[in-house]
Structure 1
Amino acid sequence: MTPLVTVVVATRDRPQLLRRAVRSILAQDVAGRIEIVLVFDGSPVDPLADLGPGRHAVRPMANTRAPGLAGARNTGVLAASAPLVAFCDDDDEWLPGKLAAQLPLLDDPGVVLAATGIRIRSSGGEHDRLPPASVGLGDLLRSRITELHPSSFLLRTADLRGRLGLVDEDLPASYGEDYDLLLRAAGLGRVAAVAEPLTIVHWDRTSYFSERWRGIVDGLGYLLDKHPEFARSTRGRARIEGQIAFAHGALGAFRSARHWAGRSLRDDLRQPRAYLALCVGLRLVSGERVVAALNARGRGM
């Protein structure tokens, strides 16, 4: 029987967190069958034999494409058997009604990507972040809209293999691959979301990206070059320039931090990331401390 949804979980060296994520997917309140494709990136394939999938299917495999998150997700997309593909990070989880609530959104042919609200669990407690019901390209140019988290994404398999395209494997360190996918989806149609916190995002542990400042610099610079639409949104461009400035500051490259902070403030004098970048570049505070403080409040850089 063809599964209703294929859930792609890219993973690396997180066996216990992975099991938590898979259990939450197996617990979904849907009538159809779910296929879970586990893609192990740079770590041994674990069949998760201790988990009983019941009527669902768990398919473990190795990443056969570019090393990293983008290649691992694409390996899963290309192996998917279902007409729909969902993503879930290996350190996140879903509430039982997540899929059932968002599946109807894709009944609308104008919707290219469906998401849900998120519940962030951090050292500062729980924080619910609810996205708008409908998002267009202009909205995403102005703001990343972090409420649209990749662990909540649901898309048509044919779109990922066709007009939308796969996750961009050329992105340095795969940083910003979810934002790139949102921008491309909004260029084709609409991004829709269920305004309920049905996806749990864990910020109570160190992210692989929290200290990869060079990857952030290169990844966001790549996105600015790839999407010329940012020329239409000084506010959105300033936000990304401020993030690049902050990453340079965290790297100790004050001259570069000052350069990018200046660009950011020329585009938007109110851009807070530029000011934070200058503080980090002057070593008044560390980048890690700033990110930890933001995460504790359910916010990101």
Structure 2
Amino acid sequence: MPQAVTVVVATRSRPQLLRRALASIAAQEYPADIEILVVFDGTDIDDLSDLTPTPGRVIRTMPNARRAGLAGARNTGIEAARNPLLGFCDDDDEWKPTKLAQQTPLLNDAGVVVSATGIEIHSAGGTHQRFAPEKTNLDDLLRSRITELHPSSFVLRTEDLRGRLGLVDEELPASYGEDYDLLLRAVKLGSIAAVQDALTIVHWDRTSFFSEKWQGIVDGLSYLLAKHPEFARSRLGTARIEGQIAFAYAALGDRQAARGWARRTLGHHPLQPRAYIALMVGLGLVKGETVVAALNKRGRGM
């Protein structure tokens, strides 16, 4: 028998997008109950009374009772959840109708800590499908962030988030990379399993709260490198993150720091393209925002 699911939706001043996300969750073709917890972070609570009730679907609203930001908002929801399984959905994303029904059986395997699905990215350049790997381990995640494993697709056991895995890390600067940190911690306990099909719709056709907060990216990624010393065993993975830091420094206009991080990047992997892009941005040949917009248009990220 399928288990009841709580879905935590952290939101901030995007009422129309939020309603689209909630509608997709309520419309799940899933026989068990779904509790939707909408956590308002830094904005007034919308009681959502205009939404039509759906049998077996309950919406609860609450303020972020913890540290301001995405991590604190998600943790507020985790602590308030009433069901044994818990998922996340960003307020601007959507779920396809069979997502939960196809995904939750993966958690019948006690060795699986996080279940996920592939993603369908909607960007200014059209629709792009990214199929998730069936299984992911620590070495896979050190080498690559694996963007197909998007937090809007995650479903976990509530008891793990409150226990052995732990809550979302609120110490992460700007909450940047909090989903990556969660995955890295999860694969030290077990594995990540995914339905490969693109059952989660991710919208990249608008500016993210974090895409232009370059200092938060620098601080967040530096924090992750320090928190997870296992990166030392992956030159590819280390170079990838160092290249992202170099790019963020270049976008900030700090040429000296960008050059220093680019050198570190190339020392670990001389073919890492982010280092060269960072140097181009640092020289003023192209703007960081232009690079990110071009990548997002193709369904890619920096």
Same fold (TM over 0.5): yes
Q: Secondary structure at the match of 1:241?
A: helix
CA separation in 2, counterparts of 1:104 and 1:53?
Answer: 27
Query: Deviation per CA, 1:251-295, whole angstroms, max 9, x where unpaired?
Result: 000000000011011001111111111111111000000000000
TM-score normalised per structure 1: 0.99
CA separation in 1, counterparts of 2:179 and 2:53?
Answer: 28
Task: For 2:202, give the aligned amino acid.
Answer: V
Q: Tell me the equivalent position of 1:11.
A: 11
Q: Secondary structure at the match of 1:295?
A: helix
Q: Tell me the equivalent position of 1:277.
A: 278
8 Å CA contact 1:3, 1:81 repeated in 2: no
Q: Secondary structure at the match of 2:188?
A: helix
Q: Secondary structure at the match of 2:61?
A: strand
CA separation in 2, counterparts of 1:218 and 1:10?
Answer: 22
8 Å CA contact 1:25, 1:94 repeated in 2: yes
Query: Deviation per CA, 1:138-168, whole angstroms, max 9, x where unpaired?
Result: 0000000000000000000000000000000
CA separation in 2, counterparts of 1:98 and 1:44?
Answer: 30
Aligned length: 300
Q: Tell me the equivalent position of 1:177.
A: 178
Query: Deviation per CA, 1:224-263, whole angstroms, max 9, x where unpaired?
Result: 0000000110100000000000000000000000000110
Q: Tell me the equivalent position of 1:87.
A: 88
Task: For 1:66, give the aligned amino acid.
Answer: R
Q: Tell me the equivalent position of 1:42.
A: 42
Q: Tell me the equivalent position of 2:144.
A: 143
Q: Tell me the equivalent position of 1:201.
A: 202
Q: Secondary structure at the match of 2:53?
A: coil
Query: Deviation per CA, 1:38-59, whole angstroms, max 9, x where unpaired?
Result: 0000000111111123121000
Task: For 2:99, give the aligned amino acid.
Answer: K
Q: Tell me the equivalent position of 1:21.
A: 21
Task: For 1:161, give the aligned amino acid.
Answer: R
Task: For 2:259, give the aligned amino acid.
Answer: R
> How large is the RMSD of aligned CA atoms in angstroms?
0.9
Q: Secondary structure at the match of 1:187?
A: coil
Q: Secondary structure at the match of 1:188?
A: coil
Query: Deviation per CA, 1:44-78, whole angstroms, max 9, x where unpaired?
Result: 01111111231210000000000000000000000
Give the CA deviation at 1:3. Answer: 7.3
Q: Tell me the equivalent position of 2:119.
A: 118
CA separation in 1, counterparts of 2:116 and 2:54?
Answer: 26
CA separation in 2, counterparts of 1:6 and 1:147?
Answer: 22
Point out the more displaced range, 45-54 or 8-17: 45-54
CA separation in 1, counterparts of 2:288 and 2:273?
Answer: 14
CA separation in 1, counterparts of 2:104 and 2:195?
Answer: 10
CA separation in 2, counterparts of 1:221 and 1:227?
Answer: 10
Q: Tell me the equivalent position of 1:246.
A: 247
Q: Secondary structure at the match of 2:187?
A: helix
CA separation in 2, counterparts of 1:53 and 1:25?
Answer: 12
8 Å CA contact 1:264, 1:271 repeated in 2: yes
